[in-house]
Structure 1
């Protein structure tokens, strides 16, 4: 890939910004439309050098049609899915204040940096890099630092840090990050097992609903999902294109695959919190 291009004119606040990362045969496209939380229009095989027009085209092609019995605008699924964006599936951030408020945040992108350098242009293409998005909902007093990193090996890594910026405590229930998978990835593959027979593969069809694997041992274990994969039927070590997610946490954790009735499909993972385990005071994260 060419070096990072920051020659474009800096956009106004709330404008659209798009980033293309590529390394080791993998491309990742990040899209911030109208200042909203970032989405991931493409995570898969390398796309080559796109240029500004090509990058815009990839993002435009990922906008779904508006089906019957849905909200009146295309639902754009972010890395941290939000009900405020019209997403009817599982929410990426779930929690509330003591009075029951704060349960439907509308996080917006306030700033972006690439490898630690502030970035405020409309388009960028580069190789492996760490992109950091600062998200906030000032009205509800919540902020999220979202890191999306493509390693030189082609591995995509994500991390999110939630901060309570309000005086009232915030009880966090779930913070789960997602990646999209294509509509023809019809098969799920993960692992189960027991002591002496761990990492036993199991396959199922990727249907409407949620395939949920929760680990409540306080550690990993022989029955851990380990890696949750999605791919075309018959995927194996030597055949098929596969998308996989591993939750890199040694305590209670979850993996899930979700498809809603529009056909949108996600893989996701995060820590599994028990009630009251994380209650954030002002400026705690």
Structure 2
């Protein structure tokens, strides 16, 4: 018998193996006492056998093996160099238990070695798990799962994520039943359609209470998720690269890291673990102590119509509103007058910039802002100088369907990466640029893990040589958002939708994994071109202030009143961003389904802000009390309405909040909740709380 345990203050994960067989997870949940007998635990974990079954239950191991009669999906499907399917049977080889736990298993007959790696961060409560397959001779890989975990029996459903362009992070609740929930993304990037995350709530769990288990697969290519319930009642969760992603035989294959956590405090416990781990362990910040700058992006102001005097005027107005970074979006290079040409011709367009970019950059710097620029490095238009010179650099067949009039470059080719590095580094060396908006506007013609590794290699090379440059991951909005790309970047563009109502929901769901500091959110134009809706400036501004704030409208369209509101909200955000960057984003359980609310709680618990967004018309007349969470029940909190000026004249009653701050205990705020003033839909109340 072999036993291992991984512990922090919140959770224990116990692995056990019978004889030389692969280990299985026999316990994962609340922290166990140190004296727990693991052999007894292993023995009591076994389920009974009855008629119509094998005489013993095959292990639901870290890599379930078909050759050991496992009745569900196996964790490894592999063929030898000649294409003959293999049925591996692994036996214990060795282990090491330093900073991480490594368990090594060997199939001598087939020349295969399987290594499982587990690393626990006791501060963030994230366990990172990975599987590595080594082969004595090259093999063809069909499927390799990261360490396979059981799903809790005390759960009636699972929550995973789908979406579309301008509609990312939609949640799906699927009931457990016999059979398989199979999610596979074969688009070659993380995808709007299949964010690689899973939350399994136990029965009765909500945002703020109950038990939940969280999973995230940190990989920017296609992935596969299997949530399977066997006929004996056991449940397994598998994550890995999409099947058949590896096109070449090789002697080593690795899964991406699988990030997992157990929460005793509802979905929020998973959310804060992922938020903290991403912010504090995965992201590498060029300026770790610098506040997140207020961002201005010119895309929805000018599109492809670049004009230096107009851009200077826009920059001046953006700075006056409070912007601290100016980003020049698509259209500055080649002959790029629309989205049909010039991708990969990364030289400054002399028609639009006769004196180069320096006059604009100097003007931006003179206003006290830094300068950023847009690239879409992995893509190429057929109508481009580079495609005409190197048609063989494009990925996929000549007759492929284009996406946004473009193909993808084959990032597995060193010549392609060298070319892109040379062009991009020339721009970065010649200009004082501290930010890249790195876009990716089409799916790949076929899934290919080498494409993702090539993209990572290019970003890594540029980061090494230009460590002061921050990078945003954009892929038509939220098409490449995951912990793999965020090892190399510092911000994500969550959605191309600047519609504040859409953003309210998208940001709320993305907070299950993403902190404020990486999540870009911009005040869009009065008329939103992606939804056709118009929203009041107060709603647009406060929704952007929930995350890393920026603007992406034409500031020349603003009325004096709108400019005043935007300056006010921006100043509020700047005054609070230092603590909000380190805060936990806690989703609140709203008694009114029309209200989407969250509480951002400072790391020391001394202050918080509640954003309560009205996404629809309520069924009842007056607002229902909104329960807060994670406060000290015995402490007193001073509560005030940060946007009292937004009270409408149809709000005619006298709730205490309307006339000034109120002092209430944490117990009352969590048990009864706070009663907000009446408002129309598409409005936001902002509550500030300070612990006395």
- TM-score calculated relative to the size of structure 1: 0.82
CA RMSD of aligned residues (A): 1.9
- Corresponding residue of 2:230: 260
**Deviation string for 1:227-283 (max 9, x for gaps)?**
112223453311221112211111011122111100010112001143761412xx4
- Corresponding residue of 2:242: 272
- Corresponding residue of 1:196: 166
**Bigger relative contact order, structure 1 or 2, given CA contacts below 8 A and separation 6+?**
1
Matched, 1:162 2:133: yes
Q: How does 1:147-158 map to 2 (within 5 A)?
A: 147-152=117-122, 153-158=124-129
Preserved CA contact (<8 Å) 2:160 2:171: yes
2:79 aligns with one of 78, 96, 113: 96
- TM-score calculated relative to the size of structure 2: 0.35
Structure with greater helix share of residues: 2
- Corresponding residue of 1:25: 10
Q: Distance in 2 between matches of 1:255 and 1:194?
A: 19
Do the aligned partners of residues 236 and 278 (structure 1) sit closer, same or farther apart at CA in structure 2, a change above 3 Å counting? Answer: farther
- Corresponding residue of 1:121: none
Q: How does 1:109-258 map to 2 (within 5 A)?
A: 109-115=92-98, 130-152=100-122, 153-166=124-137, 169-177=138-146, 178-258=148-228
Do the aligned partners of residues 276 and 243 (structure 1) sit closer, same or farther apart at CA in structure 2, a change above 3 Å counting? Answer: closer
Q: Distance in 1 between matches of 2:151 and 2:246?
A: 33
Q: How does 1:1-80 map to 2 (within 5 A)?
A: 16-51=1-36, 54-80=37-63
**Deviation string for 1:155-213 (max 9, x for gaps)?**
121111111114xx421100013111222212111111112221111101011111011
Q: Distance in 1 between matches of 2:195 and 2:176?
A: 16
Preserved CA contact (<8 Å) 1:230 1:242: yes
Preserved CA contact (<8 Å) 1:25 1:46: yes
Between Structure 1 and Structure 2, how many residues are aligned?
251
**Deviation string for 1:17-68 (max 9, x for gaps)?**
21122103110101122021111101111112135xx111111111122232
Do the aligned partners of residues 273 and 217 (structure 1) sit closer, same or farther apart at CA in structure 2, a change above 3 Å counting? Answer: same
Do the aligned partners of residues 273 and 107 (structure 1) sit closer, same or farther apart at CA in structure 2, a change above 3 Å counting? Answer: same
Work out which of the two has the higher radius of gyration on C-alpha atoms and give 1 or 2.
Answer: 2
Return 5+ residue gaps in structure 2 as ranges: 254-692
Preserved CA contact (<8 Å) 2:60 2:236: no
- Corresponding residue of 2:480: none
Do the aligned partners of residues 225 and 207 (structure 1) sit closer, same or farther apart at CA in structure 2, a change above 3 Å counting? Answer: farther
- Corresponding residue of 2:67: 84
